[in-house]
Amino acid sequence: MAKIIIIDDEASILELMSKFIRSLGHEVIACQTGVGGIAAVRETKPEVVIVDLHIGDINGLEIIKLCRAEIPDAAVIMVTGHGTVETAVEAMRLGAYDYLTKPFELPDLKRTIQAALGKKGAAIPAISAMADAPIPASSKLIGKSAVITRILSIVNRVADSDSTVLLEGEFGVGKHMIARALHEASRRSNAPFKDLQCSALPEELLEAELFGHGNPQSSLFARAFGGTVHLAEIHQMPMRIQAQLNSFLDQALSGPRGFNGTGMNFRLVTSSTEPLEEATREGKFREDLYYKISVVPMMVPPLRERREDIPLLVEHFLREQALRAGTGVMKKMEAYASEFLEKYSWPGNISELRNTVERACAMAEGDHIHPTDLPGKVTQKVEAPLDPANAGGATQRLPIGTTLDDFIRGQEKLFINETLKYNNGSREKTASMLGVSIATLYRKMELNVERRTTT
């Protein structure tokens, strides 16, 4: 059992972390202010300090400095939002052991604490000891489509291999979830899973985060010892850093299970929203690095190409929202609302679907979600057959959610414009063909009769 201090001014997050860490068997002191946290640190001399970057009364970086000065043996874990990664890297330079970006998952918190305590001599499961552990089924990949079934099959086949994996696909298709599924299905699942967006940091900070701040043991790869490193958006990595990573991998991945004399032991997964093979041909990505990171390539298709997965994903996100709300009541998606979700093209893929379900849960007045609770962009892009008797024929897009008057006015303008084109722009011929006066034609075109010119 270790003494752990948590400093966070958000009461709900403070309570959640406190309960979870106590359930792991540790002694927890929860502080909602920086002043209270400093007093607790000085009084109890904890093994681990978890501190939010932004506390109302004190900057979290100041607490890191104090810990380094007064209790240098304590491991400090910084908690930060997605938009403050640069400051998190600064925290590492000041001596923080690691950082977590919000929103993080509780298993990530557990692994980070275990690793921090292991730094102080506590036991961490070795890779060899985990070799015979059962492979857990991942709850991250949800779907029944043929493509998801195939991806799950590949994940299960390569999980315990240390071959590098390259995931390619559009933004929001679930590449991060597949990377985590690979980690969770492997013998490395009890070790850290480290995720880094290569596009989130300036070149100098990215270099420091990857390879250490003058100390190799502070590098991302060292902090993921025994676990998995996921480098997202690797296509945006600068060429200079690509060269460094290529040289680093030559050494780090040369021995068994990626281990060499420097103590590096990790599995590398990368992902990209752009085709890397094409980028190598265009000279935007190093060819030798591409071959190193793409031993097992996987293409993740967009959600519009696997619509049969949408109902299962929606159910999962509804359950997720019920757990967050703490009510235990899961809202139900009304059948017609489900039709809208299944017909929408989802340019933002799974990420957009999750946000849509969250919004719908917030907007719904009761326990059922209706089409009116969905965003207009979802309900106003419905394809319907031009001939109801011929469901497989031509379709038209209906702007569901607009008034009948607005719809009729829009259709009227469309018809007038097409007739004008047919008559080579002659308004007189168009009015005659439509059976209306020229004044009526001008009114419907929202033009003044006085502005008319002879054609």
Q: What's the pLDDT at 388?
A: 61
Q: Where are the domains of the chain?
A: 3-124, 133-299, 304-384, 402-451
Tokens 């970006």 — which residue? 101
Residue range 304-384, CATH number = 1.10.8.60
- The reply to whether 133-299 and 304-384 are identical in fold is no
CATH 3.40.50.300 fits 133-299, yes or no: yes
Q: How far is CA 125 from the centre of its chain?
A: 28
Q: What's the pLDDT at 200?
A: 79
| 402-451: CATH architecture | Orthogonal Bundle (1.10)
**Running along the chain, 455 residues long, what does each successive block of 10 average in pLDDT?**
90 87 92 91 92 84 88 87 61 78 80 77 33 37 86 88 92 91 89 88 88 77 89 95 93 58 77 94 95 93 92 91 78 90 91 92 90 85 60 61 76 88 88 90 71 45
CA distances from 12 to 18, 362, 400 (A): 10, 19, 39
Burial grade of 399 (CB within 10 A; 0-12, 13-18, 19 or more): middle
Q: What's the pLDDT at 387?
A: 61
Q: What's the pLDDT at 140?
A: 58
Rounded to 10 degrees, the C-alpha dihedral 233/236/241/242 comes to 80
User: Would you tell me how many other CB atoms lie within 10 Å of the CB of residue 357?
Assistant: 23
Q: Cβ distance 55 to 84 under 8 Å?
A: no
CA distances from 25 to 20, 21, 41, 190, 333 (A): 9, 7, 20, 17, 40
CATH 3.40.1000.10 fits 3-124, yes or no: no
Q: What's the pLDDT at 318?
A: 92
Cα gap 333→51, rounded to integer Å: 39
Helix (H, G, I), strand (E, B) or coil at 421: helix
Tokens 């400051």 — which residue? 87
